Amino acid sequence: MTLQQLKYIITAAEIGSITEAAKILFISQPSLSGAIKEVEKETGISIFTRCRAGIALTKEGMEFLGYARQVVQQMELLESKYINNRPAKQRFCVSTQHYTFTANAFVELVRRFGQERYEFILNETQTHQIIKDVKNRFSDVGILYFSKNNESVLQKSLDENDLVFHELFSVAPHLFLRKDHPLAQYKSLKLSALKPYPKLSFVQGSYESAYFAEELFSNEQTEKSIKVSDRAAIVNFMIGLDGYTISSGIFPKYLQGEDIISIPLDEVEIMRIGYIKNNDTYDTGTFRLSCPSSCDILEK
């Protein structure tokens, strides 16, 4: 197989269509299909499954794609340094659940490690996609949490994908509310006190379950529920609809001034927040610059 064939496969996987990928690569569709088939024949695996909607990676294809990305990235580093005589372009990608402190830490990371040329990516996404991104080596690390409720399922998923979890810190769960919420005066709250108010959570797509949820106690029944995919929307619904969400209690004040507060949730649970990475990836400890030290923990 050639480096060019690997680049073709990476592009096809990212676009999800042979036809559209061929257009971007400025080659014919038969040429692209032929290149993929040659690699599949050489490796003895099916990299893609084909259907009307386009193409999708097989399980073997996902693993192959991860290694292909590594090879292409290393070649680009070599070309930058020894052929183009330019500083190597740094690339670092993080897939994460929707944590404000992760964005804050990411700013600090770019300031400290960004050199003349870099490509840093922060991808706030669903829990299952985080695992998939790290497995496929699109992301160097993924940020998520373990709890008593989800640990067994998430750990099984990590083991199946040869990923490891490194804990950064642990916190008791907190509620995020607007500062003038009817419950804002309390020092702590039970789940039962929240029943009249909309529960805000992030959608998890086809993996919608308490095990992949970003919020603790997602299996608790509620009469009012709003699911969103955007972090800014959750903040707007807290302020406009007296909604609440359950998370770590870490929220940088500069994002909404004093509009959002956190109140300890009086329930027995702990969030172990950390990062996942491939088992064969060297651990630089980059994210230990991270999170709580650069944020204000808002407690009543």
Q: Are 263 and 187 in contact (CB under 8 A)?
A: yes
As for how many domains the chain has, the answer is 1
d(CA 186, CA 261): 11
Pairing of strands 48-51, 199-202: unpaired
Is 260 contained in some domain?
Answer: yes
Give the residue-averaged pLDDT of 22-40.
Answer: 92
Q: Where is pLDDT greater, at 282 or 235? A: 235
User: Range of 263's domain?
Assistant: 170-272
pLDDT for res 252:
56
Is 204 contained in some domain?
Answer: yes
Is 134 contained in some domain?
Answer: no
pLDDT for res 137:
84
- CA distances to 113, 135, 213, 294 from 218, in Å: 37, 26, 7, 28
Is 65 contained in some domain?
Answer: no
Is 141 contained in some domain?
Answer: no
pLDDT for res 224:
92
Among residues 151, 131, 275, the alpha carbon closest in space to that of 210 is found at 151
d(CA 202, CA 226): 8
Q: What pTM was estimated for this model as a whole? A: 0.73
Is 218 contained in some domain?
Answer: yes
d(CA 180, CA 187): 14
d(CA 227, CA 215): 11
pLDDT in tens, 156-184: 999 999 999 999 999 999 999 999 999 99
d(CA 103, CA 46): 37
Q: Where is pLDDT greater, at 188 or 66? A: 188
Given a cut of 60, whether residue 94 has pLDDT beyond it is yes
Give me 125's structure tokens. Answer: 């996404």
pLDDT for res 297:
30
Is 219 contained in some domain?
Answer: yes
Return the CATH number at 215.
Answer: 3.40.190.10
Q: How far is CA 265 from the centre of its chain?
A: 25
